[in-house]
Structure 1
Amino acid sequence: MLSPSPAPSRAPSYAAVLRTRHASRTFGSALLGRLSYGMVSLSLMLAVKDTTSSYSVAGTVMALFGATSVFLSPARAALIDRYGPRRALPPMAGVYAALLGALAYATWRPGTSSLLLGALAVTAGACTPPLGPVMRTLWTTLVPERELLQRAYSLDGVAEELLFVTGPLMVGVVIGFAVPAAGVAISAALVLVGTLALVSSPVVRDVGTRPSAAKAVAPRGAPRTQRLLGVVGLRHAAVVAGAVGLCLGALDLLVVAFTEQHHRGAAVAWVMAALSAGSAVGGLAHGAVSWRASNRMGLPVPAAGLGLAMAVAGLSPDVYVLVAAVAAAGVFVAPALTTAYLAADESVGEGSRTQAGAWVNTAVNAGSSLGTALVGPLVDRLSPAACFAVAALPALLCAAVVARGAVGRSRR
């Protein structure tokens, strides 16, 4: 079903993506702002723990921050689609940065009220600028050709993966010479500077609002969210992304349990680094190939690969084999998410692309949180192999359902 197409004599490369006019400037600005997201979670958790001396409060504040950030993402993306990034992003980023600054100030010294921290966290999470979905929408303007757009999305996905590795490392450097609240303040500065640089790009000035396109995706009179989720291609993309998130959320906890069971707790970092490395390699390799099948038809393949690799990882006899197995699982992560974003983008009208990307992004993050919550009670009751198999099941089931739906529609 999914096979490489014959390579053209001059196949587009990742360098060709970055050489596209305004691409490097726009992408670099977006990455600068998105680096904030790689730093803020760890910085805020450590800062809240320091000021309250309570892990429970820190966990609650982070849960509130994450919940409003994730579940209100489609609503914020709808504002981008309606008013355009140049009008909607600056006030959103300004309020978000100001609230992070308030959190940094509140956590700089001990004794801040947990209720105040919770209120600031909820409000800040609600204002998080959707820089990832916006950048993926801008890629469709910068590089409209299908093959070049696939490479752009792969590059974007790999870069985002690396940001979430680099961000915690930067936090580690910051807390070496300052309080954790400094990391929150730096996160605020990064998102504000990156967003302002992004909206100053010439390509952003050319992106306006297209309400007619947004209305074309579903029957007249239906609520906009219902219209979007009624699009089969977007639903399939969100389902696959949610399954990938479930696997990744479960994997975080399962790796900790596995390494502790084998008395190698310090190896957690190496296992997770192997996952990121595998994802980066898989994403770059997937983007470099010109696939014959459409993105919708290709959705189930990397999801099924991830599920199978997860199940095999549970059979690892020691940590060294687990590192290799998790790296192999990682190879399918970036291709699955890249394909999901591309399929979502292709399924909706031009005026709804940011919202479509936000729904996929929300599905990943919600799936990750749900995966961690669901697998936790199983760790003490089942063997590691059984836990890994259970965690792999959502990806395999979703791949089967999406594949059946895609094949069924192609026969009509």
Structure 2
Amino acid sequence: MSQSTSNHESRTSLADYRTALTTRAARRPAVASVLARLPIAMIGISALLYVQRETGSFAAAGLVSAGSLAGVSVGAVIQGRLIDRFGPTRPLLVVATLLALLMATLVTAIESHAPTAVLVALGAATGLSEPMVGSASRALWTRLLPPGGARNAAFSYEAISMEVFFILGPGVAGLLVMAPWAGTGLVLGVALQFTGAVLFALSPAVRAWGPAVSSRTSLLGALSSPGMRTLAVAALGFGIVIGFVEVAVPASATEAGHASVGGLLLSAWSLSSVAFGVLYSLSPWPRRLGLRLPVLLGAFGALVALLAWPSSLWGLALAMLVAGALITPQSTAHSAAIEVVAPEGTAAEAFGWVLTAVTLGLAMGQSVSGYVVEHAGPSTAFLVASVAGLVLAGVVWLLRGTMRPVTRPAASKVALTSV
């Protein structure tokens, strides 16, 4: 990979999106991955709202949600490494089964009003067992499409579709928590994730992804690349900012006397994220990845500060639309960076590290935000989130020189079947 590739991401076109999404081998896993990833935001918010409804405490709910996210962060790396080594089918089927069993245990514990420590432990266990279909799906595109516009479009599709799920997830969770049983959203989300993971794992293109010829010797795996470590810091900052907001926004709605609107408000910033994300993928900026990561994170942190000023929920929704414009561009930049800085044979694990960094950030943001909300109010939480984003953007800026391409062997040819 040339130096120019590391600094510039090829522009994509609408034709590239069509090429990627009409690749015959990708159809079944793409549909299955939609089912598996659709509830990814819904599960976390449903758990948070469910626990808050049963315990009456945002702090306890934030801790349980943070425990779940911490489990996801560990599971993403472990599953990513197993997927790279053995292929996705067996690992995904095993963890999907564990997820169903552990989630039933968590719901039972919530209903029986178990101590918060027990709920946090079970939340972490269920998070650990959530199938990492997103990692496998992103890595699968590198096996189905050659480098270039179509593959970049596929990565953008992954990021944009995730934002669509983040639009639907919180809104659906906010509505379902008002159902006769507050755990409806949590159970429905797990059912969708289980079904999608199993269908994805058993699709022909995924089953054809066999074990790796040889295993890596480095214990660090994908993180042996300095650029991957810098990317992880950027993803961590991204997750911290979002984690703060995901607790502070429902708290703002509750404070205003409209608790049921909290989930819908969280969907507001994903609306602008998707719209702007499509335009951004056609001409990403800054062109250099080393600059793109800190600039996008810093601008995101600055815009989140706007959420502290509105005095009404309508004003908060408008501010979220503005701040949300930079969510999908960051996710797209993370995917583009993986192509440059991840060592050969670590595609799923590298994406797992990005997910780990984001979810650790979410866990940190949610747990601290719950405390700040209860002691200083939602507005202060928004300002703390902004400062955290700006500080970590500064760290990424200082490390921007590490965003260099790793040495890779020539890519093997992949048979493509498009219509």
Shift, 1:21, TM fit: 2.1
Aligned pairs for 1:108-123 (under 5 A) are: 111=112, 121-123=123-125
Matched residue, 1:234: 228
Matched residue, 2:192: 190
The match for 1:74 among 77, 80, 83 is 77
Matched residue, 2:388: 394
Matched residue, 2:161: 159
Shift, 1:179, TM fit: 3.5
Structure-1 separation of matches of 2:96 and 2:10:
44
Shift, 1:343, TM fit: 0.9
Matched residue, 1:21: 24
Shift, 1:284, TM fit: 1.6
Provide, for residues 49-83 of structure 1, a one-character-per-residue CA deviation record: whole Å limited to 9, x for no partner. 78x76758766654543332333321122221221
Does 2:294 correspond to 1:300?
Answer: yes
TM-score, normalised with respect to structure 1: 0.79
What secondary structure does 2:287 align onto? coil
One-letter code of the match for 1:245? G
One-letter code of the match for 1:247? V
- Seen in structure 2, the aligned counterparts of structure 1 residues 137 and 250 have a Cα distance that, compared at 3 Å, is same
Structure-2 separation of matches of 1:267 and 1:175:
11
Aligned pairs for 1:176-215 (under 5 A) are: 179-181=181-183, 183-210=185-212, 212=214, 215=216
Unmatched segments (≥5 aa) in structure 2: 405-419
> Is the CA contact 2:8–2:288 (under 8 Å) kept in the aligned structure 1?
no
Provide, for residues 352-381 of structure 1, a one-character-per-residue CA deviation record: whole Å limited to 9, x for no partner. 111111111111111122223345555688
The match for 1:351 among 345, 353, 369 is 345
Does 2:38 correspond to 1:35?
Answer: yes
The alignment of Structure 1 onto Structure 2 pairs a total of residues equal to: 398
> Is the CA contact 1:345–1:357 (under 8 Å) kept in the aligned structure 2?
no
Shift, 1:399, TM fit: 2.9
Matched residue, 1:146: 148
> Is the CA contact 1:304–1:399 (under 8 Å) kept in the aligned structure 2?
yes
- Seen in structure 2, the aligned counterparts of structure 1 residues 252 and 296 have a Cα distance that, compared at 3 Å, is same
Higher relative contact order (CA 8 A, sep 6+): 2
> Is the CA contact 2:341–2:403 (under 8 Å) kept in the aligned structure 1?
no
> Is the CA contact 1:211–1:351 (under 8 Å) kept in the aligned structure 2?
no
What secondary structure does 1:299 align onto? helix
What secondary structure does 2:359 align onto? helix
Matched residue, 1:93: 96
Shift, 1:121, TM fit: 4.3
Provide, for residues 306-339 of structure 1, a one-character-per-residue CA deviation record: whole Å limited to 9, x for no partner. 1222234445566544433321211111111221
What secondary structure does 2:209 align onto? coil
Structure-1 separation of matches of 2:132 and 2:22:
25
Structure-1 separation of matches of 2:66 and 2:403:
39
Shift, 1:47, TM fit: 6.2
Unmatched segments (≥5 aa) in structure 1: none
Provide, for residues 215-238 of structure 1, a one-character-per-residue CA deviation record: whole Å limited to 9, x for no partner. 3xxxx5x5x23x432312211211
- Seen in structure 2, the aligned counterparts of structure 1 residues 125 and 402 have a Cα distance that, compared at 3 Å, is closer
Provide, for residues 257-283 of structure 1, a one-character-per-residue CA deviation record: whole Å limited to 9, x for no partner. 666777887764564232111211222
What secondary structure does 1:22 align onto? helix
Over the aligned positions, Cα root-mean-square deviation in angstroms equals: 4.0
Aligned pairs for 1:235-254 (under 5 A) are: 235-254=229-248
- Seen in structure 2, the aligned counterparts of structure 1 residues 371 and 183 have a Cα distance that, compared at 3 Å, is closer
Shift, 1:302, TM fit: 1.6
- Seen in structure 2, the aligned counterparts of structure 1 residues 4 and 121 have a Cα distance that, compared at 3 Å, is closer
Structure-2 separation of matches of 1:366 and 1:313:
23
Provide, for residues 195-232 of structure 1, a one-character-per-residue CA deviation record: whole Å limited to 9, x for no partner. 221123232133233364x63xxxx5x5x23x432312
Structure-1 separation of matches of 2:367 and 2:114:
27
Matched residue, 2:128: 126
Structure-1 separation of matches of 2:403 and 2:167:
39
Provide, for residues 22-69 of structure 1, a one-character-per-residue CA deviation record: whole Å limited to 9, x for no partner. 33321110111223434434555666678x767587666545433323
- Seen in structure 2, the aligned counterparts of structure 1 residues 396 and 39 have a Cα distance that, compared at 3 Å, is closer
Structure-2 separation of matches of 1:386 and 1:54:
21
Structure-2 separation of matches of 1:382 and 1:172:
24
One-letter code of the match for 2:82? L
The match for 1:272 among 259, 266, 274 is 266
One-letter code of the match for 1:273? S
Matched residue, 1:136: 138
- Seen in structure 2, the aligned counterparts of structure 1 residues 204 and 264 have a Cα distance that, compared at 3 Å, is closer
Structure-2 separation of matches of 1:293 and 1:83:
36
> Is the CA contact 2:69–2:362 (under 8 Å) kept in the aligned structure 1?
no
Structure-1 separation of matches of 2:342 and 2:9:
25
Shift, 1:154, TM fit: 2.2
